[in-house]
A and B are shown apart, each in its own frame.
Chain A
């Protein structure tokens, strides 16, 4: 067993996902199989190999620090589930005691 329910619960919390108990069981099983499959990579000797991230390396692209047009406030907030003026409105950031 590579992965336990406790690990799945912990990782779900890291990913800000709430899972139903049924889902935790299902994912634990499926992920365990998948991770075992991924162990095949350990057969490969990758000593001294650098990872690749871009297929065609490009230079780090910068631009001048010049102010450009951007969206109007109303455009930026047009999809906001809840807003107040120019702010997105959300529930309390600090955890609420039960």
Chain B
């Protein structure tokens, strides 16, 4: 049964189809592993064991009727940010402790229709604000490769659970790198689609012009399979793109001869760890060996991305989090009048980082500062997007490191928020530009910590990115799942 961890979702579906295992057995396998390992790892906030086994029995019935859907019977962990009907959804915040959504997010509905199994809710930074999952108000998740280190964030629970084999796949969200960075630090595949490719209906909002949903998986093929299931136009999301979804698995296995790979000089900077640089260098050689050409490109406005991002995302967050007022759902603290109730509720319900960002966001939007900060940042955003448009005239995909460092120690960056913000320096520009990007494992540093490679694509060109990632993965063959979890 253990070797299921090394199989793709497609191969696992083969076992289910041939009745070599049942969905109930597969689900129990993962539940047992969670009981065994998650006490220490703390990736899961809450389990949904009864629901999972019920869903598994339904899946077995559907399989018996001859149904053959690509995710039928496959167990997932779900970042605790997606409204799931009847399942407590907290965003790892005291503000939403006990909140039971009366509806499913579109992506959850799609996964349910496809017959997935919902194992449990995965830990995250509170309201998706953070880069280490240390901002969760419930628990700190560990990196499976070194339990004294963070898994990255904000989808740290998702990355950790996939890396340790505590689910077949996971869904996360990415606003400034929150899928790609933890995927990179935990040695798994993670994708942020083009903005608008996946519906945000039912996703608890952080920054509406930046948030996107995507898969975290142990291999590129699984990522493509999950993308097929979740992508697509949704009339319930007014930012949803009406374009048809291709089959993302279609180009897997095609060679990448002649593919032009852009290498932006601004991303290969002094602050990068030596081993990260080394792994990147080796990875670029792999691409060349497979027939791709490396092309120098420049993204001159890269250095302004973090500043622009933290103005835009905090402004949007201050607006989105205004709804948490103790009136309709979530936490309520008693107050003598309504304003007092709002203030006391938000004092008790929100953690430090959330409050910091609300204050910053409110400030940059306030009268007298709106033009200087928010509007200015919006213009810088246009310049950043133009850099990419220009670069893509001479290349097909762009390759960079995901993070300047490998996983840092728990508590190492919590004193200075600015240091934490700068760890997203390579992922943030992509969210500002709305482009698709993915993180693929490319090696390890001298401490055995994963290094991630970032592949960036043209708008709506996920299929080409996936093709390149698959070719790279086939050649590079990086170890999955740490020995401690075998």
B339 touches A16 (CB 8 A): yes
Q: Which residues of B in the span 309-362 have a Cβ within 8 Å of any Cβ on A?
A: 310-311, 318, 322, 325-332, 334-344, 346-347, 350, 352, 355-356, 358-362
Q: Is there a chain B Cβ closer than 8 Å to A1's Cβ?
A: no
A79 touches B328 (CB 8 A): yes
A40 touches B307 (CB 8 A): yes
Q: Which residues of A contact B346 (CB under 8 A)?
A: 15-18
From the candidates A41, A46, A76, name the one contacting B307 in the complex (CB within 8 A): A41
B310 touches A34 (CB 8 A): yes
A31 touches B360 (CB 8 A): yes
Q: Which residues of B contact A61 (CB under 8 A)?
A: 235, 238
Q: Is there a chain A Cβ closer than 8 Å to B119's Cβ?
A: no
Q: Is there a chain B Cβ closer than 8 Å to A5's Cβ?
A: no
Residue from A15, A34, A43 with most neighbouring chain B CB atoms (10 Å):
A15
Q: Which residues of A in the span 1-55 have a Cβ within 8 Å of any Cβ on B?
A: 3, 7-8, 11-12, 14-20, 23, 27, 30-31, 33-35, 37-38, 40-44, 46, 49-55
Interface size on B, residues (CB 8 A): 78
A15 touches B358 (CB 8 A): yes
B344 touches A7 (CB 8 A): no
Complex-state Cα separation, A61 to B233, whole angstroms: 12
Q: How many A-B residue pairs have CB under 8 A?
A: 177
Q: Is there a chain B Cβ closer than 8 Å to A75's Cβ?
A: yes
Complex-state Cα separation, A63 to B358, whole angstroms: 33
Q: Is there a chain B Cβ closer than 8 Å to A66's Cβ?
A: no
Complex-state Cα separation, A50 to B358, whole angstroms: 25
Q: Which residues of B contact A42 (CB under 8 A)?
A: 376
Q: Is there a chain A Cβ closer than 8 Å to B308's Cβ?
A: yes
B99 touches A33 (CB 8 A): no
Q: Which residues of B contact A65 (CB under 8 A)?
A: none
Q: Which residues of A contact B356 (CB under 8 A)?
A: 27, 30-31
B418 touches A34 (CB 8 A): yes
Complex-state Cα separation, A56 to B194, whole angstroms: 9
The prevalent SS among residues of A at the interface is loop
Q: Which residues of B in the span 415-453 have a Cβ within 8 Å of any Cβ on A?
A: 416-418, 421, 432-435
Q: Which residue of A lies closest to B372 (CB)?
A: A42
Q: Is there a chain A Cβ closer than 8 Å to B248's Cβ?
A: no
- Determine, out of B120-128, B137-145, B291-299, B380-388, the stretch whose residues face the partner at the interface: B380-388
Residue from A52, A75, A78 with most neighbouring chain B CB atoms (10 Å):
A52
B373 touches A34 (CB 8 A): no
From the candidates A8, A43, A77, A81, name the one contacting B359 in the complex (CB within 8 A): A8
Complex-state Cα separation, A62 to B334, whole angstroms: 40
Q: Which residues of A contact B332 (CB under 8 A)?
A: 81-82
The smallest beta-carbon distance between A50 and chain B, in angstroms, is: 6
The smallest beta-carbon distance between B193 and chain A, in angstroms, is: 11
Complex-state Cα separation, A80 to B326, whole angstroms: 9
Q: Is there a chain A Cβ closer than 8 Å to B14's Cβ?
A: no
B342 touches A16 (CB 8 A): yes
Q: Which residues of A contact B328 (CB under 8 A)?
A: 77, 79-80, 88
B196 touches A55 (CB 8 A): yes
Complex-state Cα separation, A80 to B103, whole angstroms: 15
B418 touches A17 (CB 8 A): no
Q: Which residues of A contact B392 (CB under 8 A)?
A: none
A51 touches B337 (CB 8 A): no
Complex-state Cα separation, A15 to B322, whole angstroms: 7
Complex-state Cα separation, A2 to B400, whole angstroms: 35
The smallest beta-carbon distance between A44 and chain B, in angstroms, is: 6
Q: Which residue of B lies closest to A8 (CB)?
A: B359
Q: Which residues of A contact B382 (CB under 8 A)?
A: 49-52
A80 touches B329 (CB 8 A): yes
Q: Is there a chain B Cβ closer than 8 Å to A94's Cβ?
A: yes
A40 touches B347 (CB 8 A): no
Apart from A54-B239, A91-B338, 20 more pairs, CB < 8 Å:
A7-B363, A16-B325, A16-B346, A17-B346, A19-B347, A20-B347, A34-B310, A34-B418, A35-B360, A38-B373, A42-B376, A44-B380, A52-B381, A55-B385, A55-B459, A56-B241, A71-B103, A79-B328, A92-B336, A95-B337
**Chain A contact residues, CB within 8 Å of chain B:** 3, 7-8, 11-12, 14-20, 23, 27, 30-31, 33-35, 37-38, 40-44, 46, 49-56, 58, 61, 63, 71, 75-82, 88, 90-96
**Chain B contact residues, CB within 8 Å of chain A:** 98-100, 102-103, 194-196, 209, 235, 238-242, 301, 303-304, 306-308, 310-311, 318, 322, 325-332, 334-344, 346-347, 350, 352, 355-356, 358-363, 366, 373, 375-383, 385, 416-418, 421, 432-435, 459-460
Could you show 17 A-B contacts with beta carbons less than 8 Å apart? Answer: A11-B362, A15-B358, A16-B322, A16-B342, A17-B355, A17-B359, A23-B355, A27-B359, A38-B307, A41-B308, A51-B378, A52-B385, A54-B434, A80-B329, A81-B332, A82-B332, A95-B339
User: 9 tightest A-B contacts by CB?
Assistant: A55-B434, A51-B378, A79-B329, A81-B332, A18-B343, A46-B379, A16-B342, A18-B347, A55-B195
